[in-house]
Amino acid sequence: MDNIYNIVSDMDVPVGMTVRTKCPNCGERTFTVTNNMGSLVWNCFRASCNVKGGTRVRISVDDIRAGFGGVQEFAEDTFDLPPYVVDNLDNLFLKRFCATWGIDPKELGLMYDVKEDRLVFPIRHEGRIVDATGRSLSKRLPKWKRYGKSGLPYTSGCGKVAVVVEDCLSAAVVGYGTFVGVALLGTSLQESHKRYLSQFSTAIVALDPDALPKTLLMAKELRGHVNDVRVLRLTDDLKYRNPTDMENLHGIINH
Ligand SMILES: [Zn+2]
């Protein structure tokens, strides 16, 4: 603990700032140090580590003035998941939830929000996590929480055919083989979605069955960006793996 105290004091965290860094104890990037008007607090949010502590540090009058802006979330301006979103997937409710939907959280690179008890679907762009969305595993609302503001869709899989769906679960279910599940995380098609989808030569729009007019409209809109746009008429949401729907999905690309 003496060691951590020294490391944290040496970091010179400015007043009103939180810095996220590698944990001196477990080595994960789940360690934060906050300087709240000279009260230095540190925490590791990894469940199996949980190092925490605090001390007072000397601050100047200028520091105090600068600190009146209140504590800022993070010093870095690039997106970082909150430190309480961790790789550890050992939570029982998480396991049950994934088993129910037939998805492998490890294979999909999913994460767990220990603070709000959410299954987190990271949104990756050029190898980096730029955003994420988390599904509540308890009664906590909202059911889905967005962590960033990238506007990018959640995607799953590495095939050549995009399957446009509404939610992450459907994207995860459908993202195998030739398919990439692309979840809009809502029902509207945004500019960022169109830009992302333009890299595919084929896109299949497969929204909920009750959203057919919207599906047709979206397909029309996408035709300006993707060569081959198809509409899959669903009997059920794709995440339910209705056999007829799955058969039609495979049939659609063989025509
Ligand atoms: Zn740690």
Provide the terminal-to-terminal Cα distance of the chain, rounded to the nearest Å. Answer: 65
Residue 68's pLDDT is 55
**What's the CA-to-centroid distance between 7 and ligand 1, angstroms?**
13
pLDDT tens across 98-154, in order?
Answer: 999 999 999 999 999 999 999 999 998 877 888 999 999 999 999 999 999 888 899
- Among residues 23, 21, 19, 18, which one has the least CA distance to residue 3? 23
**What's the CA-to-centroid distance between 53 and ligand 1, angstroms?**
12
**Coil, helix or strand at residue 149:** coil
**What's the CA-to-centroid distance between 34 and ligand 1, angstroms?**
16
- Separation of CA 11 from chain center: 29
Between CA 41 and CA 167 the distance in angstroms is 37
Least confident of 51-60, 221-230, 242-251: 51-60
**What's the CA-to-centroid distance between 106 and ligand 1, angstroms?**
21
> Could you give the percent of the chain with pLDDT greater than 70?
92
> Quick check: 240 pLDDT over 80?
yes
pTM of the entire predicted model: 0.69
**Coil, helix or strand at residue 210:** helix
Across all residues in the chain, what is the average pLDDT? 87
φ/ψ of 202, rounded to 5, equals -130, 135
Q: Which residue has the higher pLDDT, 168 or 9?
A: 168
**What's the CA-to-centroid distance between 26 and ligand 1, angstroms?**
4
The answer to whether 35 and 74 have CB atoms below 8 angstroms apart is no
Residue 203's pLDDT is 96
**What's the CA-to-centroid distance between 48 and ligand 1, angstroms?**
8
**What's the CA-to-centroid distance between 140 and ligand 1, angstroms?**
26
Residue 149's pLDDT is 84
Residue 2's pLDDT is 61
The answer to whether 23 and 51 have CB atoms below 8 angstroms apart is yes
Q: Which residue has the tokens 């509207």?
A: 188
**What's the CA-to-centroid distance between 189 and ligand 1, angstroms?**
40
Between CA 86 and CA 233 the distance in angstroms is 37
Residue 67's pLDDT is 57
Confidence of residue 207 (pLDDT cuts 50, 70, 90): confident
**What's the CA-to-centroid distance between 71 and ligand 1, angstroms?**
22
126 φψ region: left (φ > 0), alpha (ψ -120 to 50), beta (else): left
HSE of 200, CA atoms in CB hemisphere, 13 A: 26
Between CA 83 and CA 28 the distance in angstroms is 10
For residues 247-253, average pLDDT:
90
> Quick check: 75 pLDDT over 60?
no
**What's the CA-to-centroid distance between 47 and ligand 1, angstroms?**
8
> Quick check: 158 pLDDT over 60?
yes
**What's the CA-to-centroid distance between 84 and ligand 1, angstroms?**
11
Between CA 165 and CA 185 the distance in angstroms is 8
Residue 5's pLDDT is 83
φ/ψ of 197, rounded to 5, equals -70, -20
